[in-house]
Amino acid sequence: MEDHKEHQNFVTIDVHAAKDMLNLDGYHYLDVRTVEEFKKSHVENAQNVPYMFLTEQGRVQNPDFIDQVEAIYKKDDHLIVACNSGGRASRACVDLLDHGYKHVVNMGGGYSAWVDAGFAGDKPPEELKTSCKFHPKQS
| Per-residue pLDDT tens digits for 62-108 | 999 999 999 999 999 999 999 999 899 999 999 999 999 999 999 99
Amino acid residing at 10? F
d(CA 19, CA 136): 29
93 is catalytic: no
Q: Which of 49, 81, 83, 115 is catalytic?
A: 83
Cβ neighbours around 129 below 10 Å, total: 21
The pLDDT tens digits of the residues spanning 23-62 come to: 987 899 999 999 999 999 999 999 999 999 988 988 899 9
* Topology (CATH) of 11-121: Oxidized Rhodanese; domain 1 (3.40.250)
